Structure 1
Amino acid sequence: MTTRTASCSCGQLTAITSADPVRVSVCHCLACQRRTGSVFAAQARFPAESVALAGASSTFDRVGDGGSRATFHFCATCGATVYYTIEGREDSVIIPVGAFADPSFPGPTFSVYEERMHRWVAMPADIEHMD
C-alpha cells in the first residue's frame, strides 16, 4: 500500500489516497476526450474510504451511455479535474492518473470504447479490452 497525492494544477484541490488502485483504466469515449483535452482519459479507481479530499471544488455532472451519472470535481481556480464519482458506485472515488504527476504510477489494465480510439494510439498488449 502506498500513499499518493493527486492535485489540481494550482494545488488548491487535493485527493490523498492510502490504498493501491482497485483498477487503472483508459477510456477512449468522445466525452472523455473532450473532458481531458487529450485523445483518451486514464483514471484509477480507489475505495472511497481510502481517499481524503481537501479544497473547494466545482462540479459537472455527465450521464454516460449506460445511464449512470458521473460527477466530476474540478478546481474553480485552475480548472483541473482531480476526482469524480459515479452514481451507484459510492464505494469508489476515481482519480485521473495525470493528477498524481507520477511517471511510476501503475499502468492501465483495462481499456474501453476502443472503437473511438485514435488510430495512432497503441494499448499495452496484455490489457483487457471492452468495446
Structure 2
Amino acid sequence: MPNAQCACGALRLMLSGSPQLTALCHCLACQRRTGAPFSANAFYSIDCVEVSGTSTEFIRTGESGGKVRMHFCPTCGSTVYWKADVSPPWIGVAVGSFADPVFAPPAISVFEQSKHTWVQLDKTVKHFQALPIGQY
C-alpha cells in the first residue's frame, strides 16, 4: 500500500487498506484549498489509517452543510487529510499526497454545478451536480 505525506514529510499517513472510493470534487472550497479547478480525493475506512506527525486543523462548513475538519502540515501547509461529519467512518486523503501516477482513477465527480467548463472527464466517471448523500 502506498503511504501519503505532506510536501516536507513531517505529516504522514500509513494505510493498511485500499480506498473505499476515489472522487473528484469541484466545489468552490476544494478549488480554494487546492488552488486547482478540482480536488482528487481518496476515501478510506478510518480504522485502516495511522497518522504520524503533527497537523493543524481547520474546520469549515461544507456545501452539504456539515463540518469538514481539514488537517494540514503546520510546516509546509500541505492539506493531507480530512474528516467530514457527513461520513464519520471515512477519512479523506488528498490523492496528490501519494505522489503516485498510477493511483486508482476517480469513480465519481461531485459538485459539478461549479465545474470549470473546460474540464473534460472520462466517460467511466459518474457525474453528480451536488453531493450524492447516501449513495457512497
Judge same fold: TM > 0.5, yes or no.
yes
State how 1:74-93 maps to structure 2 within 5 Å: 74-93=72-91
Q: 2:133 maps to which residue?
A: none
2:21 paired with 1:18 = no
Q: TM-score, normalised by structure 2?
A: 0.92
Q: How far apart in 2 are the matches of 1:102 and 1:13?
A: 17
Unaligned segments of structure 1, at least 5 residues? none
Q: 1:38 maps to which residue?
A: 36
Deviation at 1:121, TM superposition (A): 0.9
State how 1:1-131 maps to structure 2 within 5 Å: 3-131=1-129
Q: How far apart in 1 are the matches of 2:107 and 2:87?
A: 20
Partner secondary structure for residue 33 of structure 1? helix
Partner secondary structure for residue 93 of structure 1? strand
Q: How far apart in 2 are the matches of 1:33 and 1:89?
A: 21
Whichever residue aligns with residue 22 of structure 1, its letter is: Q
Deviation at 1:88, TM superposition (A): 4.5
Deviation at 1:4, TM superposition (A): 1.6
Q: How far apart in 1 are the matches of 2:36 and 2:115?
A: 11
Deviation at 1:66, TM superposition (A): 2.0
Deviates more, 1:107-116 or 1:73-82: 107-116
Whichever residue aligns with residue 33 of structure 2, its letter is: R
Whichever residue aligns with residue 38 of structure 2, its letter is: F
Whichever residue aligns with residue 37 of structure 1, its letter is: G
CA deviations 1:76-102 (Å, max 9, x no partner) are: 000001100011422111101000000
Partner secondary structure for residue 65 of structure 1? coil
CA deviations 1:21-70 (Å, max 9, x no partner) are: 10000001111000001110010000011101000000111111221100
Q: How far apart in 1 are the matches of 2:52 and 2:88?
A: 18
Q: TM-score, normalised by structure 1?
A: 0.95
